[in-house]
A and B are shown apart, each in its own frame.
Chain A
Amino acid sequence: MSFEIDIEKRLGDAHVALTLDAGDGATVLFGPSGIGKSSVLNMVAGLLAPDRGRIAVDGDTLFGDGVDVPPERRRAGYVFQEARLFPHMRVRANLLYGAGDETEGFEDRIGFLGIGHLLDRWPRTLSGGEAQRVAIGRALLSRPRFLLLDEPLSSLDRARREEITRAIEHVRDVVKLPILMVTHDPGEAERIGTRVVRM
């Protein structure tokens, strides 16, 4: 199983609970805004602690049974809704932030994203689609064991959506990383999800 999740979390008045055993490919958490889908991703990434439960990826426990692996050691490739590029670093430095020593030939590894011509640009000069592709590249270069995608298409226009969707499909089918993605768009859920979990 790629993702084994059984968690509960109280956030103010809301109660977030999810039980999930998902295999390879892309698992999509689908449901209306505001029911805690992003909180689930944050809990898997280690940015938010569940009140109780267990989270494991590929059999390794990240949370639960007395374990709470800090986010920097979970190796989650997290692509947020907004790109969250570091504004004081150029695109190249952003991409290599999590790459460690494996910086050689990095352009080939993310060639399919088509961002080679952006390397010397500052994040504030990028369009929404460009920034999101850089964010995906940055997550992939951090040698992740799995990808977390939080509404990665929501801030984009139709043409850019198609671009990013293809990039995600490439990661799912060619790079073969397990993906946990959140969306409120049924079309996206259908197209990208190997399985869709309603929340």
Chain B
Amino acid sequence: MLNATEWGIVALSLRVGGVAMLVTLPVAFALAWLLARVRFPGKVIVDAAIHLPLVVPPVVTGWLLLLAFGPNGPIGGWLQDWFGITVLFRWTGAAIAAGVMALPLMVRAMRISIEAVDRRLENAARTLGAGPWRVFWTLTLPLSIPGVLAGAVLGFARSIGEFGATITFVSNVPGETQTLPLAIYSALQQPGADSMVWRLSCISVGLSLIALIASELLTRRAGRGLHVL
């Protein structure tokens, strides 16, 4: 079984993945809604920009985050000046990297589910006296919930597996930014740590498998027109 250090790594990974997913969730949903429902100039550019982390080498994303959140960066400088905090070499930075990398996957899943909501039902609700906000809260959101949850689970799994952007942005600090993939990478550099690599890899595969199955089940549920709420 796992020793205390390894449990710490698993706990840190779950925390980084969980926070990344929770913080990214509303952003991803808002972007998904925008792309699914609103026509605006430059939409194709926004769409492409959201998907960049999916195709750009993760090390580039990490470097860009470093520029933005570094002490002299536009966001990092602001955080330092106003709140006296930095995300460099911190688990919060790891969560930011994971969230950015997970964003496109989450937006894709949520966008599909929002597009699948039947506009004719929304029109029926309007004729029954519901304004746009009520239509959103009572129809659009609950009917797209399975896809939203599927996207969230997928984002969580992606966050736990994040490596390139994280190690570039916040380095590989044991106990702070050393999540599962980074710990596996470190263990691979040490002679005689094979069993640790095995154990952590099994945990990684197990967590990813559970998340993918959950996401798939939720997507199927959405496809059948059955709903969580």
Within 8 A of B (CB), among A36-73: 45-47, 70-73
- A80 CB–B CB distance under 8 Å: yes
- State in angstroms the CA–CA spacing of A129 and B192 once bound together: 72
- B37 CB–A CB distance under 8 Å: no
Name the B residues within 8 Å of A72 (CB-CB).
126-131
Pairwise interchain contact A80-B126, C-beta atoms closer than 8 A? no
The size class of the interface chain A forms with chain B is: 20 to 34
Residue from the list A71, A87, A88, A100 in contact with B127, Cβ < 8 A: A71
**Contact flag A142-B227 (CB < 8 Å), given A47-B123, A84-B120, A88-B142:** no
Name the B residues within 8 Å of A138 (CB-CB).
128
The residue on B at minimum CB distance from A83 is B124
- B52 CB–A CB distance under 8 Å: no
Pairwise interchain contact A88-B130, C-beta atoms closer than 8 A? no
Residue from the list A47, A82, A84, A98 in contact with B129, Cβ < 8 A: A98
**Central interface residue in A75, A84, A88, by most chain B CB within 10 Å:** A88
- B139 CB–A CB distance under 8 Å: yes
Pairwise interchain contact A86-B121, C-beta atoms closer than 8 A? yes
Q: C-beta contact mask, B122-147 vs A, less than 8 Å → 1, else 0?
A: 01111111110000001100110000
Residue from the list B125, B127, B143 in contact with A74, Cβ < 8 A: B127
**Contact flag A47-B128 (CB < 8 Å), given A87-B225, A88-B227:** no
Residue from the list A46, A84, A88, A124 in contact with B124, Cβ < 8 A: A84
- State in angstroms the CA–CA spacing of A49 and B125 once bound together: 18
Overall SS of chain B's interface: helix
- B229 CB–A CB distance under 8 Å: yes
Q: C-beta contact mask, B86-100 vs A, less than 8 Å → 1, else 0?
A: 000000000000000
**Contact flag A97-B229 (CB < 8 Å), given A86-B121, A88-B142:** no
Rounded to whole Å, the gap between the CB of B74 and the closest CB of chain A is: 41
Name the B residues within 8 Å of A76 (CB-CB).
127
Pairwise interchain contact A84-B121, C-beta atoms closer than 8 A? yes
Name the A residues within 8 Å of B138 (CB-CB).
86, 97
Within 8 A of A (CB), among B203-229: 225, 227, 229
The residue on B at minimum CB distance from A76 is B127
Name the A residues within 8 Å of B120 (CB-CB).
80, 82, 84
Residue from the list A75, A78, A88, A124 in contact with B229, Cβ < 8 A: A88
Query: Which B residues fall within an 8 A CB radius of A?
Result: 120-121, 123-131, 138-139, 142-143, 225, 227, 229
Can you show 17 pairs from A to B with CB atoms below 8 A apart? A71-B127, A72-B127, A72-B130, A74-B127, A75-B129, A76-B127, A78-B124, A87-B121, A87-B227, A88-B142, A88-B143, A88-B229, A98-B129, A98-B130, A139-B127, A142-B127, A142-B128
